[in-house]
Structure 1
C-alpha cells in the first residue's frame, strides 16, 4: 500500500500530512501578535528615554522648522521638544540633550528607545561608546514605542486647541507645540499619583504665577526708540509661550512680524488679536471632546472583545483641563490590560 512512498511507516505519513495541513493553516490564518500595554518599569528618571521625529510638515514654522524632535522620560513622563529644520539636526540635538541631562540632573541616560529611522540608527555607535543601550522598534510596529506615540498625540491635541482658541495662522504651529509641551510638563497626572512631570524631575511643585492665556494681546516695553522722545513706548504683540533659557515670555510683534523675548509686558488676557469669532472656547471644547473619544477608541483595543469604551460628556473649559484630559488618555492607554480584565 505504501510502496509509492518508499515504505514509510503509516504514523510518519500521518505526521507529515498533519504538518502540511498545519503549515497551510498558518499560511492562511496567521495574524500579528497583539501589543499589550507595558507598565512603567523604569526605576528612576532617565533610565529610559523615548525619542521620535515628527514631520516634515507642509509649511514651515516662524523659525523655519519643518520637524520637531520629541524626547520623553519614561519614569517622569517629562517631555522635551526641539524644532528642527531637517533630519540632519537630530544627531547633534540628541547629543546636546544627553550632555544637558548629565550637567543639570547629574544623571546618565541608560537606554534610548526609537524607531528604525536612519536619523536614529546612525547614532547607535555613538550610544555604545557612552554605554547607552539603543533599542529600536521593528519595521511597521510603532506600538513598540507606544509611549512616545501617545505623547505625540497628546501634544498635538493640546497644540491644536491652543492654535484654534487664539485663531492663529498655521505658521505659528511650532510655537504652539512648544507651549503645549510646557503646559503638559506642569499638569498633574493620575499615572504619577496626581503629581506633575516637573515635580518628579525637580522634586518641587512647578510655579504657576508666570502662566498667561496663550495667543492673547500683550504690550511689551519698547526699548529701541533711537532717542525719539515721541516714539511709542510699547510694542503691540501676541503672547506665544515660554522661552527655555531666558526669563520672560515669547512674543510676536504684530508690526515687525518677528519673535522676541521680553519680561516687561502688560497682558490683556481677554483679547485675541487674530480672533474674529465671539466664542473663543467653543472650538477648544469640541476639539478635545472629539480628540479624546478618538484617542480612547484607537488606543484601547483588546483582542477577542467586541465591547468598546467611549468617554462622553467631557467638555473642557480651560487649557489646563484640556491637558489633564489628554494625560488621562495616556493613563488609559498604559492601563489597557487592566481594563480588559474588567470587561471580561
Structure 2
C-alpha cells in the first residue's frame, strides 16, 4: 500500500505467522525492501517459536517473485504458495489483517487531527526505558565540587515520582 510519510516511508508490508499470530508491520521506502523485511520476520518468528516457517503464501506481487527471494525460500526449505490472480479470498487472513491495520491507522489520524503524512509514525511506541517504579531505590550523583576524594559519589533515596 502506498502513502508518503514524514520519515520518507511510502509503503508498508506485514507478514502473519498463523502459528503464533505474530504480525509485525514494516514501513519501507521501496517494494524492493520486502525481501530484507521477510528475512527479519523469518528470524523473529524462528527465535520466538523455535519453529521454522513451512509455507509462505503470497499474491503474485513482483516483490515476492525475484530469483533472490525464491533462492532464499528454497535454502530455508520454505514452500512458496502463490494465490490465483484476482482471488484475494485465498489469502483472507492477510487481507483482513491489512484492512484492520489501515482502519486503525486511519482512525488514529482522524482522532488526532493529523495529516496523513504521519501515518508511519502513528504506531511508534514511545521510549519509556527511563521510567522507574514508584518507591524503588534511586541515587543522586554528587558533583566533584561538593565532595572530597574519599566521599561517596552518590546519595541513596527512595523514588516517589516525577516532577511536573
| TM-score strictly above 0.5 | yes
Higher Rg of the two aligned structures = 1
Q: Which residue in the other structure is 2:14 paired with?
A: 70
Segments of structure 1 that go 5 or more residues without pairing to the other structure are: 1-54, 180-240, 243-248, 250-260, 266-344
1:106 aligns with 2:50: yes
Query: Residue 143 of structure 1: which of 56, 70, 89 is its match?
Result: 89
Q: Which residue in the other structure is 2:158 paired with?
A: none
**Where in structure 2 are the equivalents of 1:226-237 lying within 5 Å?**
none
Query: Residue 71 of structure 2: which of 111, 114, 125 is its match?
Result: 125
Cα RMSD of the aligned pairs, angstroms, is: 1.8
Take 1:118 and 1:100, find their aligned partners in 2: how far apart are those partners? 24
Shift of 1:102: 2.3
Greater RCO (Cα-Cα under 8 Å, separation 6 or more): 2
Q: Which residue in the other structure is 1:86 paired with?
A: 30
Shift of 1:142: 1.6
**Where in structure 2 are the equivalents of 1:216-227 lying within 5 Å?**
none
Take 1:166 and 1:131, find their aligned partners in 2: how far apart are those partners? 45
3-state SS of paired residue (2:15):
strand
Deviations 1:279-316 (A, max 9, x none): xxxxxxxxxxxxxxxxxxxxxxxxxxxxxxxxxxxxxx
Deviations 1:248-273 (A, max 9, x none): x1xxxxxxxxxxx45458xxxxxxxx
1:160 aligns with 2:83: no
Take 2:130 and 2:6, find their aligned partners in 1: how far apart are those partners? 23
Deviations 1:7-43 (A, max 9, x none): xxxxxxxxxxxxxxxxxxxxxxxxxxxxxxxxxxxxx
**Where in structure 2 are the equivalents of 1:192-271 lying within 5 Å?**
241-242=124-125, 249=126, 261=127, 263=129
Shift of 1:143: 1.5
Segments of structure 2 that go 5 or more residues without pairing to the other structure are: 132-164
Take 1:95 and 1:102, find their aligned partners in 2: how far apart are those partners? 11
